[in-house]
Amino acid sequence: MTDEMALRVRGLRKRFRQVTAVDGVDLSVAAGERVALVGPNGAGKTTTLMSCLGAVAPDAGTIELLGQHTRRARRAALARVGFASGYLPLPPHLRVLEFLTLYARLYGAANPGEQARAGLRQFDMDGLADRWGSDLSSGQRTVIGVVKATMHAPALLVLDEPTASLDPDVALRVRTGLLGMCREQGTALLITSHNMVEVERMAQRVIFLAAGRVLVDGPLAAIAAQLGQSSLEDVYLRLQEANAGGKATNAGAAS
C-alpha cells in the first residue's frame, strides 16, 4: 500500500435530460481501503462509478484515478483498475479458460494461461475452465466477470452489485476471494450493493447516496453510533426515511 489515493472525486455532476443523476458528489477511496457506495434505486451510484471509469462523461467535476487526472491520463490509470458488475455479457463462443487467457494476454501477463488458471483458483471456480460462455448461468457469468476484473492485480477494483445474482454459497466464495485479494495485494475496493450484510462484511467505510448527493460518509460503526442504530440495515432505513422527509442527516465523518 502506498500514500497514493486510489480515487478522489470532487464536485461530480451528471444530468440526463430532465434527471439530475449526480448532483455534486465528493468522495475518496484511499489506497488499499474498502469503501461501499449504498443508496436507494436511482440514487446515482452506477452513474458515479461509470463517470469514474470514463464510460459516462460528467457535466462537471474532477476525477483523480490512482493519482492521475482522468481528463489527461485516463488510459494509464485504467490499466491499473478492475471493473465487474452483474450486467456484463461474456462471449458465447469461447471457453472460460480461453476468454480469461485472452484477457491475461491483454493485461500483459508473462504466462497468460497460468494467470487465468490462478484467477479461477482464487475464487474456487476451477471447475468452469472448460465450459463454453454460452453454457454458463447468469451467476456463473458474473463470477467469471469478477475473475476477469481481478486477474491483473488491480490497484483499484470497482464492483457494481457483484453478487446480486449469486446464490449464498457462491456469493460467499466471491466475497472471500475478494477480501483475500484486497488483504494480500493491498487492493482498494469501491463496491455498490443493496445487500447490507455484504456491505458490512466487505467495507471499512460506507458512503450513502440519495438523489445524487452524499448524505453520509464514514466508518459504519461511527455512523451507526451517531444515528443510534445497531445494524447497517437500520442505518439505511433511518437515512432513507430522513431523506424522504427532506431532513438529510449529516452524520458522516469526513472523507
Ligand X SMILES: Nc1ncnc2c1ncn2[C@@H]1O[C@H](COP(=O)(O)OP(=O)(O)OP(=O)(O)O)[C@@H](O)[C@H]1O
Residues lying near ligand X in the complex (CB under 6 A)? 16, 19, 21, 39, 41-47
Distance of closest approach, residue 191 Cβ to ligand X, in angstroms: 12
Distance of closest approach, residue 206 Cβ to ligand X, in angstroms: 14
Query: In angstroms, what is the C-alpha Rg of the chain?
Result: 18
**Nine cell digits for residue 128:** 468452469
Distance of closest approach, residue 73 Cβ to ligand X, in angstroms: 25
- Dihedral sign for Cα 180, 67, 23, 253, please: positive
By beta-carbon proximity to ligand X, the closer residue of 16 and 91 is 16
By beta-carbon proximity to ligand X, the closer residue of 44 and 82 is 44
Helix (H) or strand (E) holding 112: helix 112-122
By beta-carbon proximity to ligand X, the closer residue of 57 and 110 is 57
Distance of closest approach, residue 16 Cβ to ligand X, in angstroms: 3
By beta-carbon proximity to ligand X, the closer residue of 11 and 42 is 42
d(CA 250, CA 217): 9
The SS3 assignment for 47 reads helix
Among residues 24, 19, 9, 35, the alpha carbon closest in space to that of 205 is found at 35
Distance of closest approach, residue 67 Cβ to ligand X, in angstroms: 26
By beta-carbon proximity to ligand X, the closer residue of 165 and 185 is 165
Non-local (6+) Cβ contacts of 9 within 8 A are 25, 26, 27, 28, 48, 51, 52, 61, 62, 63, 64
